[in-house]
Structure 1
Amino acid sequence: MKAPFTPPVRLDIDYLQELYQAGELTPRELLGQLDEYQTAFADRNPWIHYLTPEEREPFLQALEGHSPESLPLYGVPFAIKDNVHLKGIPTTVGNRHISILPEASAFVVEQLLAAGAIPVGKTNLDQFATGLNGTRSDFGPCGNAFDADWISGGSSSGSAVAVALGLVSFALGTDTAGSGRVPAALNHIIGLKPTLGRLSVDGVVPACQSLDCVAIFARTALQANQILSLADQRNPTDPWQRNSRPPRGLVSETFSFGIPPADQLGLTEYPEAKELFDATVEHLEALGGRAVEIDFHPFSEAAALLYKGPWVCERQLAIRALVNAPEQVHSAVVEVLAGSDKYSAGDTFNAQYRLASLKQQTDRIVRSVDIVVTPTCPGPYTINDMIADPIVLNARLGAFTNFMNLLDYAAVSVPGGFLENNLPWGVTLFGFSWSDTELCVLADRLHRRVTNTIGATSDALIPEDRPRTARTLDVAVCGAHLEGYPLNSQLTDRGAVLVRRIRTAPRYRFYALAGGPPYRPGLVRSEHAGVAIEVEVWRMPEDRFGTFVAGIPHPLGIGQLELEDGTWATGFICEPCGMEGAQDISHTGGWRNYMATRSVTEN
């Protein structure tokens, strides 16, 4: 393996903040060092437009008057795929005949600039964001960060390579069919494809507008999630942005993960890729996971619809809005879209009907596990091989990615080790929409088991001072919120997951309150006559807790419950006035036992 590259500064976001706050570095000094460092990688061809000192001066001046601790991305350098607008800098979408001079930056870029980030340049891409390989650019192919003779992946090729080489801390890409994940896998970094519609696409040149989303390339999954949270602001003028929802559920310390069976993986290019995938399964099992084989056929059928169905018409529409003649379009892109005009309105509706049926099937599969794990792509090809066979080889790269936005799943690509040719390989974790943060938390844990370096650099993968799980609260429930009972949906609708069943310390009396349905119990602490009562502990996203508490009726409230193992948990308590007309049911030991005896009595 070639010696790794050593950037002048380790570009992890928290580390840069420490240097700035200590006065050991300034953003201007950092950019000067990166200017010199990036000249060594002309053979990788990551940039279409590298900002001059004059062009980035306004961004440096915008930091004046701000302290490093006042902005979460103060002085953090980032790259922007050249189909995402940066005010005053031409957008080419990888085509020499196009030079859009935007009067405003894309909405997501504006959010990152407001947080203190500094753009370094616009990155190379497969033309019109149509391709997964990085060779379809009028500005030349983008070479892999590890070896310039091999593809970088695409279409967000330059963005991934810039992060992998240590030229920037993070980069924006787009992802319609895998463009934010394949380049991440082939360059040994994190690639986050958020929930479709989570981030605004205002200021992003469309490729397939109904399926486009902004992707994030980062050094670690937690940093990717940090960028996601800062860019995730509501844009009232974007018709494609969706209202946020709680995740279906959190990934707890023990979890199940779906994997395609060996005969559906199709890893024929590199037999050792199957070994790397098996190693990933072992890593996840060591983290508390349980592997479950799933049928991958409906996912593959959905993937085929993207380019063998009417969605290619949508790509054709986007291109026709930018160029006037086919000869202005890269030949491989022309070939991909050839015949798009043959699809009728009826074909479009039939494809949507089929997709709805497949979505029902795949949702049932995804619902049966906590997450699904696949290869990100089969493996890399040389640039020469890709140019010689641009359609077939590119299609292979999308085998595990093309379906993701069609089926509305969130996904993150994680380094999965190295092939025998010393090039990186990756895996993807995916789940239901709005599970982005939960996927990133697990991806971070997996990442640290697989490797100890970042991208093609010598930078160590240093543990970050972040929680092992998303920001959550544990809530102990003892009655109608128990699993299978009438109010349990108030927990599950907020993305809560059952953590454990346990009893309280033997210091409580348990009462069936007057009224109902729903029938409700009350816990009252009693130091001298208390007993242990069965409870369930549910882990809930922190930002959903407020609305949960708001729905709790008097005389119940939230306080601290002592559990039998000596720990404490937030849970339901009852005011003394609630004892009027209540029945002491402490002898039952818990709500399930009480309701069972009540049912027998009533019947």
Structure 2
Amino acid sequence: MANPLHGPSTGPSVAEILASHAGGTGSPTKTAARVADAIAARGDDGTWLSTVPRDQLITAAEAIERRPAARTLPLYGVPFGVKDSIDVEGRPTTLSCPDYAYIATATAPAVQKLLDAGALYVGKTNLDQFATGLNGTRTPHTVPRSVYGSDLISGGSSSGSALAVALGQVPFAVATDTAGSGRVPAALNGVIGFKPSRGLISTVGLVPACKSLDCLSVMAGCIDDVDRVLDIMVGRDDDDPWSRERGPRHRNAAIRVGLPPDSELEFFGDDEMRMAHNAFRAQLRRTHTVVEVSLEPFLAAGTLLYQGPWVAERLVEFGDFLTAHPDSIHPVVREIFEGGRSYTAVDAFAALQKLQQLKAVVGRLWQHMDVLVVPTIGTTFTVDQVLAAPIDCNTKLGHYTHFGNLLDLLGAAIPLGATADGRPCSAMLLGNALSDDTVLQLAAEILDEPRSTHQEATVPLAAQERL
């Protein structure tokens, strides 16, 4: 259907929903009905691939209301969506490829933590097929559009997760981010996309794109919602070989902000985006301690992702399906998968050695800064532009995101409003591994949000059961 919006229209936050449920002005069942009606009113706009039917959603909300000490649950009746590459027991996992679909026999541990905390599962959100793409057009289903209209792409691969939040249907959604899949669609829809340090959130139950780089991420309308959700989802999982403990909380020290020189920023001829970002940089210089940091080693690492052997890692999961069902795969995704066959073990080791050299260079830069700030995207594209030049447009969209997981960084895409011609503008805050809380603190300062930690020492649910 046509999109009448021009920008995000986020709904009530997690805190507001909890207050409504606690105070009696609302309830999980009322919230469930509101969400189901809002989704139905939009029709098939490419946001959701499957949803819990209205009557079943209300029944699930009633079950939450009957749980012991229900109103003390940290996400009591709060609705959320899950990207359709993550398992929820009894629900289809499709990766936007009908011939690949299966019914999950278990729920991903990170999602199960949300359910245990009282959250209400609404459904599975759309994505670029096999989580391969940053634009949202690589799907056999309805191609989603940005809430900014003008036929702008939604971004991907976590297109539906960003839209579900930007449309106000849910306050947060679970996404993934291997090469920018959580940050780019957040930028294109005016919401927050937070990709934590790899390993903080279990990836068990996620169908991997590149298993050594994959990361679950969170879409939300405010930093407080990100904090609340992370406090539930973060936790060590011994079934995930990349799992690790959370880093220290930010301790109110001044945050040193790294900014690349103007000459190193790329906007691909988009003067309005350049002006909007430069205005933000000028404001940041007035409010924070700024140091100049070259972007060159970061960008050099980024070129390794799709111009190097990490493309071949996708064949670990999808190689047999590619061989058996090539016509079931979106043509652009198939082309990318096929390209992975050309790399050798020598190529892989050469790239790993190059990456290690770049990690050493970047590692020294963190001695002088705490957070690196860059644009999330340098420009926007329409659906027609992406369909005409799918690889080129996708590469430009990932210019500032491709290097993140390769260099073991975390990232937050935060909305900055719009350009002079009404398109979304977003900044990305990048931190070294395990500095998540510092990045979130800077994000809150930039967005002028008060911030408090809801669980100073988060105790995993399994540990609570042993107490």
Asked if TM exceeds 0.5, the reply is yes
1:191 paired residue among 186, 190, 193: 193
Query: What are the ranges of 5 or more consecutive residues in structure 2 without an aligned counterpart?
Result: 459-467
Counterpart mapping for 1:45-194 below 5 A = 45-56=46-57, 57-58=59-60, 60-67=62-69, 69-147=71-149, 149-194=151-196
CA gap of 1:278–1:250, structure 2 versus 1, over 3 A, is farther
Counterpart for residue 259 of structure 2: 259
CA gap of 1:161–1:2, structure 2 versus 1, over 3 A, is same
* CA deviation after TM superposition for structure 1 residue 4, in Å: 5.9
Counterpart mapping for 1:554-569 below 5 A = none
CA gap of 1:43–1:104, structure 2 versus 1, over 3 A, is closer
CA gap of 1:314–1:74, structure 2 versus 1, over 3 A, is same
CA gap of 1:262–1:224, structure 2 versus 1, over 3 A, is same
* CA deviation after TM superposition for structure 1 residue 346, in Å: 1.3
CA gap of 1:10–1:186, structure 2 versus 1, over 3 A, is closer
Bigger Cα displacement from structure 2, 348-357 vs 36-45: 36-45
Q: Percent identity?
A: 36
> For 1:444 and 1:46, how far apart are their aligned partners in 2?
27
> In 2, are the aligned partners of 1:303 and 1:403 still within 8 Å (CA)?
yes
Counterpart for residue 292 of structure 2: 293
* CA deviation after TM superposition for structure 1 residue 337, in Å: 2.9
* CA deviation after TM superposition for structure 1 residue 68, in Å: 5.1
Counterpart for residue 319 of structure 2: 320
Counterpart for residue 37 of structure 2: 36
> In 2, are the aligned partners of 1:222 and 1:441 still within 8 Å (CA)?
no
Q: SS of 1:421's equivalent? A: coil
Q: SS of 1:17's equivalent? A: helix
Counterpart for residue 463 of structure 2: none
> For 1:390 and 1:277, how far apart are their aligned partners in 2?
25
Residue identity opposite 2:105 in structure 1: E
1:336-356 CA-partner distances (Å, limit 9, x unpaired): 233322211111111100000
* CA deviation after TM superposition for structure 1 residue 3, in Å: 5.8
* CA deviation after TM superposition for structure 1 residue 321, in Å: 4.7
Residue identity opposite 1:311 in structure 2: W
2:220 paired residue among 218, 221, 231: 218
CA gap of 1:148–1:214, structure 2 versus 1, over 3 A, is farther
Q: SS of 2:219's equivalent? A: strand
> For 2:85 and 2:62, how far apart are their aligned partners in 1?
23
Counterpart for residue 15 of structure 2: 14
> For 2:308 and 2:252, how far apart are their aligned partners in 1?
35
* CA deviation after TM superposition for structure 1 residue 244, in Å: 3.6
> For 2:408 and 2:41, how far apart are their aligned partners in 1?
40
CA gap of 1:31–1:343, structure 2 versus 1, over 3 A, is same
Residue identity opposite 1:356 in structure 2: Q
> In 1, are the aligned partners of 2:372 and 2:430 still within 8 Å (CA)?
yes
> In 1, are the aligned partners of 2:201 and 2:233 still within 8 Å (CA)?
yes
> For 2:384 and 2:395, how far apart are their aligned partners in 1?
16
Counterpart mapping for 1:230-269 below 5 A = 230-246=232-248, 250=251, 252=253, 254-269=254-269
> In 2, are the aligned partners of 1:86 and 1:106 still within 8 Å (CA)?
yes
> In 2, are the aligned partners of 1:44 and 1:144 still within 8 Å (CA)?
no
1:67-102 CA-partner distances (Å, limit 9, x unpaired): 453101001010100001111110100112122101
1:420 is the counterpart of 2:420? yes
1:522-576 CA-partner distances (Å, limit 9, x unpaired): xxxxxxxxxxxxxxxxxxxx659xxxxxxxxxxxxxxxxxxxxxxxxxxxxxxxx
> For 2:406 and 2:7, how far apart are their aligned partners in 1?
38
* CA deviation after TM superposition for structure 1 residue 242, in Å: 2.1
> For 2:62 and 2:276, how far apart are their aligned partners in 1?
43
CA gap of 1:471–1:25, structure 2 versus 1, over 3 A, is closer
CA gap of 1:110–1:43, structure 2 versus 1, over 3 A, is closer
Count of aligned pairs: 454
* CA deviation after TM superposition for structure 1 residue 65, in Å: 3.2
1:22-41 CA-partner distances (Å, limit 9, x unpaired): 11111111121222222343
1:268-315 CA-partner distances (Å, limit 9, x unpaired): 34212222222222332343x122221111111100100111100101
CA gap of 1:211–1:23, structure 2 versus 1, over 3 A, is same
* CA deviation after TM superposition for structure 1 residue 42, in Å: 3.2
Counterpart for residue 302 of structure 1: 301
> In 2, are the aligned partners of 1:302 and 1:358 still within 8 Å (CA)?
yes
Counterpart for residue 441 of structure 1: 441
1:441-460 CA-partner distances (Å, limit 9, x unpaired): 21022123xxxxxxxxxxxx
Larger Rg: 1
Counterpart for residue 376 of structure 2: 376
> In 1, are the aligned partners of 2:32 and 2:61 still within 8 Å (CA)?
no
Residue identity opposite 2:128 in structure 1: D
Residue identity opposite 1:25 in structure 2: G
Counterpart for residue 205 of structure 1: 207
Residue identity opposite 1:94 in structure 2: S
> In 2, are the aligned partners of 1:410 and 1:432 still within 8 Å (CA)?
yes
> In 1, are the aligned partners of 2:8 and 2:166 still within 8 Å (CA)?
no
CA gap of 1:108–1:60, structure 2 versus 1, over 3 A, is farther
> For 2:158 and 2:358, how far apart are their aligned partners in 1?
28
CA gap of 1:73–1:140, structure 2 versus 1, over 3 A, is same
Q: SS of 1:413's equivalent? A: strand
Higher relative contact order (CA 8 A, sep 6+): 2
**Structure with the larger strand share:** 1
> For 2:8 and 2:414, how far apart are their aligned partners in 1?
22
> For 1:79 and 1:421, how far apart are their aligned partners in 2?
31
1:312-348 CA-partner distances (Å, limit 9, x unpaired): 0101222225452221111111222333222111111
> In 2, are the aligned partners of 1:159 and 1:172 still within 8 Å (CA)?
yes
Residue identity opposite 1:377 in structure 2: I
> For 2:44 and 2:380, how far apart are their aligned partners in 1?
18
> For 1:321 and 1:198, how far apart are their aligned partners in 2?
30
Q: SS of 2:99's equivalent? A: coil
CA gap of 1:113–1:148, structure 2 versus 1, over 3 A, is farther
Q: SS of 2:102's equivalent? A: coil
Q: SS of 2:50's equivalent? A: strand
> For 1:226 and 1:18, how far apart are their aligned partners in 2?
14
* CA deviation after TM superposition for structure 1 residue 412, in Å: 0.5
> In 1, are the aligned partners of 2:7 and 2:190 still within 8 Å (CA)?
no
CA gap of 1:283–1:66, structure 2 versus 1, over 3 A, is farther
* CA deviation after TM superposition for structure 1 residue 121, in Å: 1.2
Query: What are the ranges of 5 or more consecutive residues in structure 1 without an aligned counterpart?
Result: 449-462, 473-541, 545-603
> For 1:419 and 1:316, how far apart are their aligned partners in 2?
39
> For 1:12 and 1:25, how far apart are their aligned partners in 2?
13
1:23 is the counterpart of 2:24? yes
Counterpart for residue 525 of structure 1: none
CA gap of 1:380–1:39, structure 2 versus 1, over 3 A, is farther
Counterpart for residue 429 of structure 1: 429
Q: SS of 2:395's equivalent? A: helix
